[in-house]
Structure 1
Amino acid sequence: MTGPATSTPHISDSNPVRDLPLQDLAGFTHRWIDADGVRLHAVEGGRPNGPAIVLLAGFPQTWWAWRKVMPHLIHRFRVIAVDLPGQGHSERPDSGYETHAVAARVHTAVKALGVSAYSLVAHDIGAWVAFSLALDFESHLRKVALLDAGIPGITLPEAIPTDPDRAWKTWHFAFHVVPDLPETLLAGREREYVGWFLKTKALAPDTFDDAELDHYAAAVAAEGGLRASLAYYRDAAESARKNRESLQRRHLSVPVLGISSSHGSVPDMAASLSPWADDTTGIVVPDAGHFIPDEQPEAVAAAIADFIGDDD
């Protein structure tokens, strides 16, 4: 299955979210790519001719979620971290947050950077997009690693538990799909809201410092950011429908690594994905909560490097 036809993408340094300060990482360069009419922000570095790795982050983060992992990969790989539509310094379109549509844009952006084959590494909502991208563009993928995420229509529970010991992990799925109410309650309180997720879902509540909380809150608060963040959840039912439809035709054959953590949301990512992928392995990262790349970056980088290897 292939995505929709695309026009020739344009690469520029034109930042569509100028009110949000750019975060620079030594050895990496900012790029913006017109991907089917939406400018996506990418940060790239590493070996230009090395095996390419594309990193996708989830809610409530940006590409900056990978900042501690990326320097460990640049000596062996070409590393590209992409802000999804509505994330960070990518454009915030009014619609189109169903994950197959987003996946097509991400794939267009990666191709525009001159990459024809690559591995995907993705966390949280980024993993939603990565799973759909693998279904639609598997022939371009070498390997896929998914971190601590339930996938819509596949492994994401449709019922929200009411037991407080479990409900704190997933209560927001229902809240985010309610029309208008989240915007009303959260506008002007983005830092408190983002901070709750980052502090509560990390194993150590001091994982994120004030500067990081400020960055992620500002990204959500920037024009259209809150609406876009919620749109992924509001379009999740359509994402689920398209995932199920795709999987009726075939399962994934690309090698998949499920990365869980000792205190995350999905205890065994590999087991949850194995019914839908023919080649699945898994690891559990110790001493980490949901935000594994921030909490144990060296372990995540090592797992990625071992899984992907040097074969281009």
Structure 2
Amino acid sequence: MSTDAIPYEYTAPPARIRAVMDEAVGRLSRVDELVAELPQTPPRAPDEEGAEERLGEVTVTHRFVDAPGDGERVRWHFVEAGPSDAPVVVLLHGVPDSWWQWHYVLEALGTDHRCLAIDLKGYGQSEKGTGDFRQEGVAVQLEALLDQLGIGRFSLVTHDRGTPVGDHLVARAGHRVVRYGRGQQHLWHLHPDLHPQQAMFTSPDAPATLADARRLVVTAYSLLAERAVKTSDLVRTVQEFSYDGISTAVPRYFNSSSFRQEWIERRTRLIPRWKCPVLLLQGADDPLQPREFYTDPHIAAMLPPGSGVHLFDSGHFWPFEVPEETVSVLRDFLR
């Protein structure tokens, strides 16, 4: 499909989606009950540079690195696993998540890949000061971080709102990116009914909503997950989203762009600049991202050779809902 003359018209969701969305919204009636059932989530003390954490048979290291950005520097927190000379895999999370979203992947791939699970700027223990929160601006700063770490070629795996940043990073880095596992985000098709979070995150009430990390996490996972998520993963997700400054920093992304703007940028200047194989990673039962939008045969023609799509037997949060399938698919793709 040519991008020379694009009609900027939304795609109507499949007929089945209305019932699916109504059923998902119906789950919200249980949020108060689920919040009360969730074990206590005491704040975590911030990690220190070089602190180690055991994930199964793999020991991961917490890193804090200052890299160029926002006039002077941006402080990044990421968790690293694997041999320093192994193929590099960079992992970017979404909302309301952190590096912890990838802990099953770190545990499985950290034996033979150098894995970097990064807290995006504004999240977790990364920088939360004012600055450039455009998706493209954050991609530029991430590239500066990789340069500072001496990383040349790398593969990228993303989820949810980490993906718009990843789209720009892959377009910028060209052949430096070996493979792109593009996870759980709108691509070619879009409709306003399918991104209600834009209104929530741009509301004046957004900082107060995000400050209640416990309720935010339970609400998001109740609405969008189709399979059970371990309580321990929900607890750690709440803790990682509870650090000071997150509630005011994260809305800056949504106030710096819109879903429509991202959509047009992908169609006009990002997708044509992707050089590496792209694997679209989508939960088959995400009510806000219909699987039909990603199995459209026109998509294969617009992506680089070797690209494809994998539909997880899950909802939106497949790294937690189906961790074994996630690891298996990523291992095959990265191989």
Is the pair's TM-score, using the shorter chain for normalization, greater than 0.5?
yes
Structure 2 residue 229 is matched with structure 1 residue 207: yes
Structure 2 residue 293 is matched with structure 1 residue 284: no
Q: Equivalent residue for 1:144?
A: 180
Q: CA deviation at 1:49?
A: 1.6
Structure 2 residue 277 is matched with structure 1 residue 255: yes
Whole-angstrom distance in 2 between the partners of 1:70 and 1:102? 23
Higher share of residues assigned helix: 2
TM-score, length basis structure 2: 0.74
Q: CA deviation at 1:266?
A: 4.2
Is the contact made by 1:20 and 1:89 (CA closer than 8 Å) also made in structure 2? no
Within 5 Å, give how 1:146-185 maps onto structure 2: 146-151=182-187, 154-155=188-189, 157=190, 159-161=191-193, 170-178=195-203, 180-184=204-208
**Alignment RMSD, CA only?**
2.5
2:156 is paired with a residue of what secondary structure? strand
TM-score, length basis structure 1: 0.79
Whole-angstrom distance in 1 between the partners of 2:290 and 2:165? 17
Q: CA deviation at 1:39?
A: 0.4
Is the contact made by 1:124 and 1:148 (CA closer than 8 Å) also made in structure 2? yes
Deviations 1:160-199 (A, max 9, x none): 32xxxxxxx6322222123x22224x26533112210023
2:185 is paired with a residue of what secondary structure? coil
Whole-angstrom distance in 2 between the partners of 1:28 and 1:285? 27
Q: Equivalent residue for 2:251?
A: 230
Structure 2 residue 215 is matched with structure 1 residue 192: yes
Mark the CA change 1:239 to 1:60 in structure 2 (over 3 Å): closer, same or farther.
same
Aligned residue-pair number:
275
Q: Which runs of 5 or more residues in structure 1 are unaligned?
A: 1-17, 162-168
Is the contact made by 2:157 and 2:181 (CA closer than 8 Å) also made in structure 1? yes
Q: Equivalent residue for 2:67?
A: 35
Whole-angstrom distance in 2 between the partners of 1:220 and 1:300? 23
Within 5 Å, give how 1:1-312 maps onto structure 2: 20-22=45-47, 24-26=53-55, 27-36=59-68, 37-151=73-187, 154-155=188-189, 157=190, 159-161=191-193, 170-178=195-203, 180-184=204-208, 186=209, 188-204=211-227, 206-209=228-231, 211-237=232-258, 239=262, 243=266, 246-247=269-270, 250-264=272-286, 265-267=289-291, 269=294, 271=296, 274=300, 276-279=302-305, 280-286=307-313, 288-309=314-335
Whole-angstrom distance in 2 between the partners of 1:91 and 1:62? 13
Q: CA deviation at 1:282?
A: 1.0
Whole-angstrom distance in 1 between the partners of 2:176 and 2:106? 22
Whole-angstrom distance in 1 between the partners of 2:104 and 2:239? 20
Whole-angstrom distance in 2 between the partners of 1:45 and 1:31? 11
Mark the CA change 1:187 to 1:19 in structure 2 (over 3 Å): closer, same or farther.
same
Mark the CA change 1:115 to 1:187 in structure 2 (over 3 Å): closer, same or farther.
closer
Q: Which runs of 5 or more residues in structure 2 are unaligned?
A: 1-42
Deviations 1:256-287 (A, max 9, x none): 0011223123415464854642232111122x
Higher deviation after alignment, 271-280 or 29-38: 271-280
Mark the CA change 1:95 to 1:261 in structure 2 (over 3 Å): closer, same or farther.
same
One-letter code aligned to 1:282: V
One-letter code aligned to 1:298: E
One-letter code aligned to 2:330: I
One-letter code aligned to 1:183: P
Mark the CA change 1:92 to 1:240 in structure 2 (over 3 Å): closer, same or farther.
farther
Whole-angstrom distance in 2 between the partners of 1:261 and 1:119? 21
Q: CA deviation at 1:65?
A: 0.3
Q: CA deviation at 1:252?
A: 1.7
Is the contact made by 2:67 and 2:145 (CA closer than 8 Å) also made in structure 1? yes
Mark the CA change 1:102 to 1:229 in structure 2 (over 3 Å): closer, same or farther.
same
Whole-angstrom distance in 2 between the partners of 1:106 and 1:306? 26
Q: CA deviation at 1:43?
A: 1.0
Q: CA deviation at 1:135?
A: 0.9
Is the contact made by 1:258 and 1:270 (CA closer than 8 Å) also made in structure 2? no
Whole-angstrom distance in 1 between the partners of 2:277 and 2:328? 17
Q: CA deviation at 1:289?
A: 1.0
One-letter code aligned to 2:63: R
Higher deviation after alignment, 46-55 or 230-239: 230-239
Is the contact made by 1:252 and 1:276 (CA closer than 8 Å) also made in structure 2? no
Is the contact made by 1:20 and 1:218 (CA closer than 8 Å) also made in structure 2? no
Which protein has the larger Cα radius of gyration, Structure 1 or Structure 2? 2
2:217 is paired with a residue of what secondary structure? helix
